[in-house]
Amino acid sequence: MRRRKRIMEGLDQDIREHIAMETQDNIERGMPPEEARYAAMRKFGNVTRVKEEIREVWSFVWLEQLLQDVRFALRMLGKNPGFALTAVLILALGIAANVIVFGVLQALVLRQLDVPHADRVIGLPGTHII
Amino acid sequence: MSTKEQRERIELLQGTLDLLILRTLLRGPVHGHAIAKAIEFDSDDVLQVEQGSLYPALHRLIKRGWISAEEGTSENNRRAKFYRLTAKGRRQLTIETGKWDKLAGAIAQILRPAE
């Protein structure tokens, strides 16, 4: 990710330098400066498209690096089974607690009653609808 | 430039730009603008590189590890990135040149079969 950022940052300057060099060449060939610059820009083509294409070239690098990180993480967990077990247990507990709380809430609050036009059922004071 | 001249110039085939860049860098590290000039000059101005398209190609080659880029100063004291062929790129150039020869030969054979 960092490498890609560095590459993209240098890019604008590279393109500017390229067009400046081409402009210089055109001037040496006898073009007036203004015209030389426009000719150089025409010859370079669409700067935005070029930058977009370069970004695409590097767009899968982050995925590769992510895979590297995942492999590293798995290796470290394998090396340290006590820590891995603790982490897994804590995650399991957390997920289980969530499932239970949501399960209860779903049954009590979120689920609509099993009657026609359940959305039109209302509760009256002093009665229990559940 | 007259329109006639323009018609005689040929657009590069997809993928051939990579090969031409590798070949150009065989002579030593140069900056992007010089690569474009070299390709135009060496082909007697027949091959017209849209100069911008050079840069995505250069980045593809960097990503594959066939060339490397480093900061430097150009002949007229401008800051520029110099591209250099790596050992891997040198091997790739041999492979790609072989492939190109095969392709060109095959096409020539179809267009002008031996009588």
B1 pLDDT higher than 70: no
Tokens of A60: 């899968």
Domain B3-111 has CATH 1.20.200.10: no
- The reply to whether A39 and A11 lie within a common domain is yes
Q: How far is Cα B38 from Cα A10, in angstroms, rounded to an integer?
A: 23
Residues A58 and A92 in one domain: no
Query: Is residue A45 assigned to a domain?
Result: yes
Q: Using one digit for the tens of pLDDT, what is the confidence trace for A40-51?
A: 999 999 999 999
Considering the domain boundaries, does residue A98 fall inside one?
Answer: yes
Same domain, yes or no: A23 and A58: yes
d(Cα A77, Cα B71) in Å, to the nearest integer? 41
Question: Given the DSSP bridges, would you call strands B30-31 and B67-73 parallel, antiparallel or unpaired?
Answer: unpaired
* Closest CA relative to residue B103, chosen from B18, B24, B13, B39: B13
Amino acid found at B47: L
| Residue A36 domain-assigned (yes or no) | yes
Same structural domain for residues A56 and A7? Answer: yes
Residue A4: per-residue pLDDT: 67
Mean pLDDT of B47-61: 88
**pLDDT over 80 (residue A37):** yes
Token readout for B19 is 């090969």
For A59-90, the pLDDT digits (tens) are 877 787 889 899 999 999 999 999 999 999 99
C-beta atoms of A45 and B51 within 8 A = yes
A80 SS3 class:
coil
Question: Residue A68: inside a domain, yes or no?
Answer: no
Write down the pLDDT at residue B3: 47
Domain that holds residue A51: 2-62
Is A69 domain-assigned? no
Say if residue A26's pLDDT is above 70.
yes
Spatial distance between the Cα atoms of B33 and A22, rounded to a whole number of angstroms:
7
Shared domain check, A13 and A57: yes
Whether B33 has its CB under 8 Å from any CB of chain A: the answer is yes
How far apart CA A110 and CA B33 sit, in angstroms, is: 66
What is the per-residue pLDDT for B98?
94
pLDDT of residue B106: 93
Between these two residues, A120 and A87, which has the higher pLDDT value? A87
- What is the per-residue pLDDT across B3-51, written as a single tens digit (0 to 9) for each? 445 556 666 776 789 999 999 999 999 999 999 999 888 888 888 778 8
Query: Residue A3 has what pLDDT?
Result: 66
A51 and A11 part of one domain: yes
Residues A58 and A7 in one domain: yes
Residues written for chain A: 130
Q: Which of B32, B53, B76 is the closest to A14 by Cβ?
A: B32
Interface test with A, best of B45, B50, B55 (most A CBs within 10 A): B55
Q: What pLDDT score does B89 carry?
A: 95
Total of domains in chain A: 2
Q: What percent of chain B has pLDDT over 90?
A: 54
Give the separation between CA B45 and CA B70, rounded to whole angstroms: 28
Contact criterion met (CB below 8 Å) for B81 and A75: no
Structure tokens, B35: 């690569």
Say if A49 is an interface residue toward chain B (CB within 8 Å): yes
Beta bridge partners of B79: B73
Residues A57 and A93 in one domain: no
pLDDT of residue A58: 85
Sequence spans of domains, chain B = 3-111
